[in-house]
Structures are given as C-alpha cells and as structure tokens.
Amino acid sequence: SPLHGDAPEEWAPTGIDVTVPSIARVYDAVLGGKDNFPVDRAIAQQSQDIVPEIGDVARYNRDILGRAVRTMAKAGITQFLDLGSGLPTVQNTHQVAQEVNPDAKIVYVDIDPIVLAHGRAILAENANTTVVTADLRDPKAVLDLPAVREFIDFDQPIGLMLVGVIHHLGDDEGPEAIVRDYLAALPAGSYFLLTHFCASSPDALDLEGALLTSLGTGRFRTLEEITAYFEGTELLEPGVVYLPEWRPDEPVPASLTVGQRLMAGGLAIKH
C-alpha cells in the first residue's frame, strides 16, 4: 500500500518531534511519499479507512495546482506566493511555472520546519525559488518577510496560492479575515488559487471528526463557505467546483464519488 513508506529515521532534522503528527508529513504519506513517520502514517491509514480514495483526493489536489499554476503562468504571472506549500513532491509550483517561464519566481511558505529542511535541495539548484518557515495566520508578518520582499514585487501581479491549507485553520482563528488581508495586499491583475476540504457527504464529516481528533485540525466547509473566501475577486470559469471538475484534462463523470467531492476550489483574478 502506498501508505506504508519505510521512513529512514536518520533524515529527521534535529528538533523535530517524531511522536507528534505533522500535517505536512501526513499529507506526504497520503501522497505515497517517504518523508513521514509511523505517527503520520497512522493518521493517513485512518483517513483511508474512512475514505478509501484519499490518495486520489490528494492527487486531485496536486493536479488542480498544476493546471491552475500553468494557467496563471500562461496568463503572464511571473511571481508566486505559495502559502502552506507542503513538502516537495512531484509537479511542484516552481517546476510547473518555470516550464512556462524559466524566470518565474516562487516563494514557498510553510509553518513546518521539515518543509525548509527538504526544500534546501530545491534552493541549491534554483536561484528563482526560496523556502521560508512562517505562520500564514499572521499575514502582515508573512508579507513583510525579507525573503518575500526580496522575491516578490508588490507592484506587479502575483499568483497567491492557498492550496489545501485554509481548512487547517479553525473557525476561531478567523480564516476569512486572514484570506482578506492577503487579497488586500495583492496588486490588480493578481490571481488567487484556493482549494479546501468540502463538507459534501456523511463520509466527509466522519473524516473531519477523525482529523480534528487525531491531528487537531481539518475543517470541512460548505461550497458556500469556500466561495465566500473569494469575495472581492472575479472567479474565473467554472467558479468554485469539486476539484476534478475544474478545467479537467479528461471528461468528468456526471455523478462524482465521495472522494471526488471531498475537496473544492477555484481560481480568481483581482481587479
């Protein structure tokens, strides 16, 4: 099963507690990566027990990231701020964007220091890419980070990405205001990509309950709530939809499975 990596314990950077699950490592386990520990794999397995297609869901999320980054790069976006970027995997933002425009700049921001530890390999080979450890819940601090100011020109359109991360903010943390603060900082012509767990089935709500208990985060919001994050922007076609329905490369079946409806997202432009 892809959920059983053989984590060589020696890669763990000092200061990382391998007995506490990490969102980044659980997601890596779900994607079939090897940068995870037993405590992370247990949650990935528990998620798979509730939604057997969970690995596909993570891939739908990576796929829309790829399609949307390509769309933004082709539309002329040359700088990307990827918040809650996760561990490097296949088709990372910089690879997709730089395929269209080799000069595209990418700032990856993640709260988990393991992402920086693994991102160093990317840094070494890519002068237009940087990785920063920061908490996106403080937009002002993130937007003022030296690396952000150095890489991103706030007078030019930006591709802002909150992919699979806002559902890790609780209602009491004011996710709407946080998203609004980032959108307010973007110049006109910027793009905004968001994907989010969706409260779309009883199984989705079961998974929400399990994740809130085991991982401490994972809020499944309704399509209406997810759409509300785009307030003040123009949602591009087809709007906020279940991930496989967003500008699919392949025909989509009329009736989607629980897994295909587990996340929703959209791409918008700020005028």
Residues of this chain that interact with ligand SAM (CB under 6 A) are 23-24, 27, 61-62, 65, 84-86, 110-112, 115, 135-137, 163-165, 168
At closest approach, how far in Å is the CB of 34 from ligand SAM?
16
At closest approach, how far in Å is the CB of 255 from ligand SAM?
25
Compare residues 84 and 157 and give the one whose CB is closer to ligand SAM: 84
Q: Rounded to the nearest 5°, which phi and psi values hold at 197? A: -60, 140
Compare residues 24 and 223 and give the one whose CB is closer to ligand SAM: 24
Compare residues 151 and 155 and give the one whose CB is closer to ligand SAM: 151
Compare residues 133 and 271 and give the one whose CB is closer to ligand SAM: 133
| Vertex 89: Cα angle to 87 and 94 (nearest 5) | 90
Helices 54-74, 93-100: inter-axial angle, 10-degree rounding: 30
Compare residues 70 and 137 and give the one whose CB is closer to ligand SAM: 137
Nearest CA among 137, 30, 128, 37 for reference residue 86: 30
At closest approach, how far in Å is the CB of 116 from ligand SAM?
11
At closest approach, how far in Å is the CB of 25 from ligand SAM?
8
- Residue 221: beta bridge partners? 198
| DSSP letter for each residue of 32-99 | T-S---HHHHHHHHHHHHH-TTHHHHHHHHHHHHHHHHHHHHHTT--EEEEET--S--SS-HHHHHHH
In the complex, which residue's CB is closest to ligand SAM?
A: 86
At closest approach, how far in Å is the CB of 150 from ligand SAM?
19
